[in-house]
Amino acid sequence: MKRYEKVCVVLTALILSVATSTGAYGISKSQKVADAFESYLESVNATYDAELLSAANLYEPQIKSTQTKINDAKSRFLTANQVKVLKQGESRGYWGNFDCPKTRPDCIYVDKGALFQIGEITTFKSFITDKNEYLDEIDIILNLGLIEIINLTTFQEASKTIRTETLNLNTLNQQYKNTQNSITSKRDAGLNVEIALLAAQRAAKTPSSYDKAFVAALKFEQNRVKLNELASTPWRYINSYKALSSAVSVTRLSDQADIVAENYSYSRALGINSSCGTTFTNDSSFKSLFALIATIYKQATKVTIKL
DSSP 154-198: HHHHHHHHHHHHHHHHHHHHHHHHHHHHHHHHHHHHHHTTHHHHH
pLDDT digits 0-9 by tens, 121-130: 888 888 999 9
Q: Are residues 287 and 196 in the same domain?
A: yes
Whether residue 14 is predicted with pLDDT greater than 50 in this model: the reply is no
Helices (H), the chain: 3-78, 132-143, 152-191, 194-203, 210-231, 241-262, 266-276, 284-301
Residue 153: other Cβ atoms inside 10 A: 9
Q: Give residue 265's pLDDT band: very low, low, confident or very high (50, 70, 90).
A: very high
Name all contacts of 150-158 with Cβ < 8 Å and 24+ positions apart: 150/80, 150/82, 150/83, 150/84, 150/121, 151/79, 151/80, 151/82, 152/80, 153/80, 154/76, 154/77, 154/79, 154/80, 155/77, 155/80, 155/81, 157/76, 158/73, 158/74, 158/76, 158/77, 158/80
More confident residue, 183 or 78: 183
pLDDT, average across residues 212-239: 87
Which domain covers residue 106, as residue numbers?
62-188
Phi-psi region for residue 78, left (φ > 0), alpha (ψ -120 to 50) or beta?
alpha
Same domain (yes/no): 270, 249: yes
| Region 2-17 average pLDDT | 35
Q: Residues 165, 233: one domain?
A: no
Above 70 in pLDDT, residue 41?
yes
| Residue 198, beta-bridge partner list | none
> How many Å apart are CA 289 and CA 158, to the nearest integer?
53
The three-class DSSP label of residue 123 is strand
Taking residues 231-254, report their average pLDDT.
74
Q: What is the pLDDT of residues 161-176, one digit of tens each?
A: 999 999 999 999 999 9
Share of the chain above pLDDT 70, in %: 84
Q: Please report the pLDDT score of residue 10 as a whole number.
A: 34
Mean pLDDT, all residues of the chain: 85
In a domain, 17, yes or no: no
Domain boundary (161, 188, 215) is at: 188
Final residue of a structural domain among 188, 215, 240: 188
**Residues 119-136: b if buried by 16+ CB within 10 A, e if exposed:** ebebbbeeebbeeeeebe
Strand, coil or helix: what is 47?
Answer: helix
Nearest residue to 32 via CA among 306, 307, 302: 302
Confidence (pLDDT) at 249: 84
Contacts of 304 (CB under 8 A, 6+ apart): 294, 298
Total domains, the chain: 2
- Given this model, what pLDDT does residue 238 score? 65
Cα(165)–Cα(163) distance, integer angstroms: 6
Do 240 and 201 sit in the same domain of this protein?
yes
Q: Of the candidates 137, 127, 129, which has an alpha carbon nearest to the alpha carbon of residue 162?
A: 129
Q: Are 204 and 141 contained in the same domain?
A: no
Q: Could you tell me the pLDDT band of residue 38, with boundaries at 50, 70 and 90? A: very high
Confidence of residue 11 (pLDDT cuts 50, 70, 90): very low
Shared domain for 228 and 178, answered yes or no, is no
Assess if residue 53 is contained within a domain: no
Give per-residue pLDDT as tens, 57-77: 999 999 999 999 999 999 999
Distance (Å, rounded) from C-alpha 58 to C-alpha 61?
7
R_g of the chain computed on alpha carbons: 36
Give 98's DSSP letter. B
Last residue within a domain, chosen from 164, 188, 212: 188
Does residue 180 lie within any of the structural domains?
yes
Residues 66 and 182 in one domain: yes
Cβ-based neighbours of 190, under 8 Å, separated by 6 or more: 40, 41, 44, 47, 48
Identity at 236, one-letter amino acid code: R
141 and 220 fall within a common domain: no
Alpha-carbon gap, residue 27 to 203, rounded angstroms: 10
- Shared-domain flag, residues 199 and 264: yes
Sign of CA dihedral 21, 22, 28, 31: negative
3-class SS of residue 120: coil
237 and 122 in a common domain: no
Residue 169 placed within a domain:
yes
* Residue 111 within any structural domain of the chain: yes
Q: Judge whether residue 5 has pLDDT over 60.
A: no
| pLDDT exceeds 50 at position 17 | no
